[in-house]
Amino acid sequence: MTASADSLRLTAAQATMLWLANQHVVVDGEEVPYFAGAWAIFGHGNVAAIGEALHAARDALPTFRAHNEQGMAHAAIAYAKQMRRRRAMVCTTSIGPGATNLLTAAALAHVNRLPVLLLPGDVYASRRPDPVLQQVESFDDGTVSANDCFRPVSRYFDRITRPEQILDALPRALATMLDPATCGPATLAFCQDVQAEAFDYPADFFSRRVWQPRRQPADPRELDALAEALRGSKRPLLVAGGGVLYSGAEAALAALAGRTGLAVAETQAGKGALPWNHANALGSIGVTGSSAANTAASHADLVVGIGTRLQDFSTGSRSLFPDARLFQVNVQAFDAYKHGASPVVGDARAVIEALDAALAGWRTPHAIDREAVSHWNATVDAATGGNDAVALPSDAQVIGAVQASFDEDAIVVCAAGGLPGELHKLWRTARSDGYHLEYGYSCMGYEIAGGLGVKLAAPQRDVVVMVGDGSYLMMNSELATSVMLGLKLVVVLLDNRGYGCINRLQQATGSPGFNNLLADAHHEVLPDIDFAAHARSLGAHAEKAASLGELRAALTRARNADRSTVVVIDTDPLKTTEAGGWWWDVAVPEVSDRPEVNAARRDYEQRIRMKRDLS
């Protein structure tokens, strides 16, 4: 590295890492680096240049090694989610399979609006050695590489073909990641020869910078329209989404609800916006909702979504509140106009505080149905209870045992299968950052890697990963990473011997059990998988519990263990919590030889008539 008074001669990779290390944000009143570190799996496309640069920057920008590119990106994304999007991480891979292994995680971050900076290696910009190892060639477009697959799943995409391009590309990427309206993954496909090329960069490019994310107020006309609609409503309902948490609006929401008497239901991403036992909390909404929240939604004449994109699980596939007037408070106009809603474009906390002031002295005429809430709480108690000696418990009973084994400071992590629905209904969240579900993409394999990212963000707290056998088999390698990094997880592995959630859905739509449970799939021999032995082989403690009573005892040992621990328990693949919930639009074949399918189709055709009319 050479320097003059006003420039630094660096490789493009060195300059990138130096710049990243000098970007800061304010978290809880303290200036901290925006990037908490970089995850890297090296190959020929990034080891020589990016690897050398990361080594030089390791004190300011620590590098973590993972076992799977998708897994490390899940960890980075989970870190950003747990940090409420205030901080992020970097992921770098080689070209070819290393890069494309990131694609699923990029899509997950895109759907969930979570920031991560992806730096996959790319082909040679000079094209001197084309085709290089792992290069994807197009017969009719010489500019294409495998990294073009990132374009639809990136909020910002650029290909770095000259070293000076990072002067524009890096600030653009970070501006995208830090903007509440555009937040998501940024991908800089980094040509491997360019990574190593030197350039005289302006010295002030590397000056320390503190970024200040904006908090956008609502247009006064839109806010007035919402306040007027609330004053004129008879049965209003607020639906809190993830934007409430990312905005830090929990206290403002509680104050608004308390002063106005407005009832609040929660999406998956918004769970914990109010404590579960808050006087105005109705619990989860939608397909996996509580009976209290869904009854209120079905009778509401006005529904106000706050920080939610209102995907189909939240709206019961647009059938849950078909006749209610709908307002959408969202920092992103794209979401605020969904489902024919009246938009209020702005930051959740800013809008809630302004709305509270606009509604001074007003209180909703509709009292919260305390009996319905009490009934739902009794339902949760019944579903999550159980005889400690029962040998094949339901998911709900395991959830009850896990919740009873940890204090309110613990963080539960989950992503896919039947568990997210049961957790949305049944897990009692006392604090807003104690429930970490990835359900926008419902990505199998996120759970353990996600738990690793959560533990990085909250190292002093218990992190409990709940995962099914199907997801565990898809991706478990970052369990070894958690042991290597000393980031202790408690993994509760529910073994129902297959894809139990989809098996239930398959049968509910009239088909026989087929290709979901192991016993119903094509096989010569049914596998007898020893998950505890496998977890021990990765360096974790592990044991198998034969009952709920043994599970509770094992969880006590896991809490006191010195490293990540996996506790396995067999569960019933057919049992699920029937209480609560709402219809979900899963298309049933219009023609079939099976009478069960034809009956399911008739029911389906009746149900789709309930959908919200947007004409």
pLDDT by residue (tens digit) across 339-389?
A: 999 999 999 999 999 999 999 999 999 999 999 999 999 999 999 998 888
Pair 235, 264: CB distance under 8 Å: no
Residue 496: both structure tokens together: 């129902």
Cβ atoms < 10 Å from Cβ of 601 = 18
Counts of helices then strands in the chain (DSSP H, E): 24, 24
Pair 335, 181: CB distance under 8 Å: no
In the predicted structure, residue 254 carries a pLDDT above the cut 80 = yes
- Positions of E strands within 53-115: 63-65, 88-93
Residue-level pLDDT at 608: 87
Pair 178, 148: CB distance under 8 Å: no
Q: Which of 266, 305, 313, 317 is nearest to 286 (CA)?
A: 313
With a CB cutoff of 8 Å and minimum separation 6, the contacts of 384 are: 396, 397, 399, 400, 403, 426
Residue-level pLDDT at 5: 74
Mean pLDDT, residues 504-516 taken together: 94
Rounded Cα gap, residues 266 and 424, in angstroms: 9
Rounded Cα gap, residues 536 and 543, in angstroms: 9
φ, ψ of residue 483 to 5 degrees: the values are -65, -45
Rounded Cα gap, residues 492 and 147, in angstroms: 36
Mean pLDDT, residues 10-39 taken together: 97
SS3 133: coil
pLDDT by residue (tens digit) across 154-204?
A: 999 999 999 999 999 999 999 999 999 999 999 999 999 999 999 999 999
Residue-level pLDDT at 603: 94
Residue 448: both structure tokens together: 């353990």
Residue 322 pLDDT level (bands cut at 50, 70, 90): confident
In the predicted structure, residue 4 carries a pLDDT above the cut 70 = no
Residue-level pLDDT at 2: 64
Work out the percent of the chain whose per-residue pLDDT is above 70.
99
Residue-level pLDDT at 614: 66
Residue-level pLDDT at 391: 79
Cβ atoms < 10 Å from Cβ of 73 = 29
Q: Which stretches of 465-547 are DSSP H helices?
A: 469-474, 478-485, 500-508, 531-537
In the predicted structure, residue 615 carries a pLDDT above the cut 60 = no
Cβ atoms < 10 Å from Cβ of 156 = 18
In the predicted structure, residue 612 carries a pLDDT above the cut 90 = no
Pairing of strands 565-570, 116-122: unpaired
Residues 352, 355, 357: CA angle, nearest 5 degrees = 115
pLDDT by residue (tens digit) across 486-508?
A: 999 999 999 999 999 999 999 99
Cβ atoms < 10 Å from Cβ of 204 = 8
Pair 373, 535: CB distance under 8 Å: no
In the predicted structure, residue 239 carries a pLDDT above the cut 80 = yes
Residue 229 pLDDT level (bands cut at 50, 70, 90): very high
Residue-level pLDDT at 386: 84
pLDDT by residue (tens digit) across 81-107?
A: 999 999 999 999 999 999 999 999 999
SS3 58: coil
Rounded Cα gap, residues 109 and 241, in angstroms: 16
Q: Which of 114, 336, 303, 308 is nearest to 218 (CA)?
A: 336
Residue 598 pLDDT level (bands cut at 50, 70, 90): very high
Q: Taking the CA atoms of the chain, what radius of gyration do you get in angstroms?
A: 25
Per CATH, the homologous superfamily of domain 2-210 is Thiamin diphosphate (ThDP)-binding fold, Pyr/PP domains (3.40.50.970)
Does the structural domain 220-372 have CATH classification 2.30.140.10? no
Residue-level pLDDT at 610: 80
φ, ψ of residue 342 to 5 degrees: the values are -80, 125
Residue 611 pLDDT level (bands cut at 50, 70, 90): confident
In the predicted structure, residue 285 carries a pLDDT above the cut 90 = yes
The fold of 385-570 is Rossmann fold (3.40.50)
In the predicted structure, residue 257 carries a pLDDT above the cut 90 = yes
Domains 2-210 and 220-372 are alike in CATH topology = yes
Residue-level pLDDT at 515: 96
Residue-level pLDDT at 406: 97
Is the peptide bond prior to 131 cis by the omega test (within 30 degrees of 0)? yes
SS3 11: strand
Rounded Cα gap, residues 565 and 554, in angstroms: 10
Cβ atoms < 10 Å from Cβ of 598 = 16
Residue-level pLDDT at 473: 97
Rounded Cα gap, residues 16 and 21, in angstroms: 9
Rounded Cα gap, residues 17 and 574, in angstroms: 51
Can you give the residue ranges of every domain in the chain? 2-210, 220-372, 385-570, 588-615
Q: Which of 238, 291, 608 is nearest to 425 (CA)?
A: 291
Mean pLDDT, residues 111-136 taken together: 95
Residue 609 pLDDT level (bands cut at 50, 70, 90): confident
In the predicted structure, residue 595 carries a pLDDT above the cut 90 = yes
Pairing of strands 342-345, 325-330: parallel
Mean pLDDT, residues 244-269 taken together: 98
